[in-house]
Chain A
Amino acid sequence: MTQPTESKKIWQVIAASSVGTLIEWYDFYIFGSLATVIADQFFPKTNPTAALLSTLATFAAGFIVRPFGALVFGRLGDLIGRKYTFLLTLILMGGSTFAIGLVPGYATIGFAAPLLVLLLRLLQGLALGGEYGGAATYVAEHAPPHRRGYYTSWIQTTATLGLFISLGVILITRHYLAPDLDTSIKRFNDWGWRIPFWVSILLVIVSIYIRLRMNESPLFAKLKSEGKVSVNPLKESFGHKANLKMVLLALFGATMGQGVVWYTGQFYAQSFLETVCHIDFDQSRTIILWAILFATPFFVVFGGWSDKIGRKWIMLIGMLVAICSYQYIFKQFIDLTQPTGKTELTEHRKFLGEKTILLPKSKTDSLHLRTWEVHYTDGAVFHEVKQDTLWTDAAKAALTKTATVYNEKKLNTWAYRKIVGWMFVLILYVTMVYGPIAAFLVEMFPTRIRYTSMSLPYHIGNGVFGGLTPFIATLLTTIYVTDKLSGLWYTIIIGAVCFFIGAVYISNRIDADVND
């Protein structure tokens, strides 16, 4: 039997695998984090075809291509080995990210611009689909059985840290392109957004160098030397009932719920702070950064703990607590960002400007907007926007009232810290469901088809169920407009079904031998 790699070597394995995976997540997230800037550059809303390509870039790359990448690269990983497969995904991801930073805008090359970006985004999704399964499998196959959860949990930190680095690089670039902030932001929106994409290539070169020096997974190398490598991993994974039933169990009893909890905690929460609570751009991002910083060590805590008490209940309790408390936590976000109960410092009120815009689908009726900066005694500063609809029809005009909305809210220190605290709790749930899952998935499937078998449920759970969370949640809020928290029902229902299936069908047994 192959001996587990000695302690010093395992850290080299973890470092080499994690750095590459971290970069892949960074690459994937910068596109999402810069979506509005990229849309202005490549997908002008005035052009319907470009807008259509934008929708495809968002949906297809995240949801269709990721599971497809899992199948393509999972199969390769089970046929030719883990090392070369996840080296290939890294090159593919790094190359396409760098290339997105080089594509000239729509104004320069017309339709070729959104088309190129769409193709490169699809390549990114494909690469990401192949990366994770390889990295998790590679580390798990090097780890000693009693520490498998602990060592693979380092790979689990990379997705969150990738988001952390992408937000950090974007904030730094946005702030330091000129001595004054307004000019810096203008430059960033103009050309500076390309810098985070270019940064990727440096990181990828370093990571490729490290990965080239790594050895093949000892378990896969042993299988290969014995001639026991699968000849058709896809058929063995999904064509044989005995394995297919485990793939279905992994999806419906674990990754489906894990995906929605992850994307609700990190992405829908961010979108909620920006679009429902209307918190200022910088503050909404630094809230996430602080929460990630404090919560990330818990991936390792829960991963390590799962080696002692089993993977199942840590993940399921995380899921259960999350779905039971989401309504309350998101209600706190709304309450902490309301102007109700605040006392205005009227002498500081500042008029910022006014504008009139045509109402959608109307050539005559318009909306008149007047904006003030409002300061409060507790230190908060909000923008107050008064909206008057200017109807040409006198009957409608007589019934119209002025609507007041608040946006670009800069919170006071107390409210800011409290929201950081709640965000920390949301990401803590993510660490519970996500920390042990790599070890859990690795232990479910045999070595010869592990890469393929674990990649598909992972990417359907995270790419489809998780990745669609922000879109479906936002859609629900447009259908049930009176309830700002209605978007959470998607996560709660999917999470509850997954919890129930996991609790009844999944075993809490830790597989001592993944060499088979």
Chain B
Amino acid sequence: MNQLKKWLGIVWMLLGPVAIYYLIKTAAGEIEKNPVTNTIIQWAVFVIIFIPIAIGLIIFGYYAFKGEYEHLPESSKEI
């Protein structure tokens, strides 16, 4: 199980940039189709909010790859 947790970390690390690319590509396409202020604001909100979350997913994947989730803390002393 620990090996699975570790190697899946690579998947999560890759999923982050893929999500960012897909998000920006879709946003650009939708703004181009309907270039009104509301569409721009709406997609800008999506991009601004989801990019930090995707970065969080990359960090999560990195921690998983480094084996940080092999043992989860059982008391606050471990945190």
**A contacts with B, residue count (CB < 8 A):** 39
Query: In the complex the two chains form, is A59's CB within 8 Å of B57's CB?
Result: no
**Whole-angstrom distance from the CB of B16 to the nearest CB of chain A?**
11
Query: In the complex the two chains form, is B76's CB within 8 Å of A516's CB?
Result: yes
> Which residue of the partner chain A has the closest CB to B71?
A507
Query: In the complex the two chains form, is B69's CB within 8 Å of A59's CB?
Result: no
Q: At the interface, yes or no: B10 with Cβ under 8 Å from chain A?
A: no
Q: At the interface, yes or no: A177 with Cβ under 8 Å from chain B?
A: no
**CA gap between A63 and B12 in the complex, in Å:** 24
> Which residue of the partner chain B has the closest CB to A51?
B38
Q: In the complex, which residues of chain B have a beta carbon less than 8 angstroms from the beta carbon of A252?
A: 12, 56-57, 60
Query: In the complex the two chains form, is A248's CB within 8 Å of B79's CB?
Result: no
Q: In the complex, which residues of chain A have a beta carbon less than 8 angstroms from the beta carbon of B15?
A: 497
Q: In the complex, which residues of chain A have a beta carbon less than 8 angstroms from the beta carbon of B78?
A: 242
Assuming the contacts A464-B49, A505-B64, asked whether A447 and B76 have C-beta atoms less than 8 A apart, the reply is: yes
**CA gap between A59 and B74 in the complex, in Å:** 38
B contact residues, range: 20 to 34
- Within the complex, which residue of A48, A56, A246, A251 is in contact with B79, where a contact is CB–CB below 8 Å? A246
Query: In the complex the two chains form, is B37's CB within 8 Å of A52's CB?
Result: yes
Query: In the complex the two chains form, is B49's CB within 8 Å of A64's CB?
Result: yes
- Within the complex, which residue of B41, B56, B64, B79 is in contact with A445, where a contact is CB–CB below 8 Å? B79
**CA gap between A511 and B12 in the complex, in Å:** 27
Contact digits for B47-75, partner A, Cβ 8 Å, 1 yes 0 no: 00110010011011001100011001111
- Within the complex, which residue of A56, A464, A507 is in contact with B53, where a contact is CB–CB below 8 Å? A464
26 A-B interface contacts by CB (under 8 A): A52-B37, A55-B38, A55-B41, A56-B41, A60-B45, A63-B45, A64-B45, A241-B68, A245-B63, A245-B69, A246-B72, A246-B73, A248-B63, A249-B60, A249-B69, A249-B72, A251-B53, A252-B56, A464-B49, A472-B46, A501-B12, A504-B5, A504-B8, A505-B5, A505-B64, A507-B72
Q: Which residues of A contact B (CB under 8 A)?
A: 48, 51-52, 55-56, 59-60, 63-64, 240-246, 248-249, 251-252, 445-447, 460, 464, 468, 471-472, 475, 479, 497, 501, 504-505, 507, 509, 511, 513, 516
Query: Known pairs A464-B53, A468-B46, A504-B5. 16 more at Cβ < 8 A?
Result: A52-B38, A52-B41, A59-B42, A60-B45, A63-B49, A64-B45, A244-B59, A249-B69, A460-B53, A472-B46, A497-B15, A504-B4, A505-B5, A505-B69, A509-B74, A513-B75
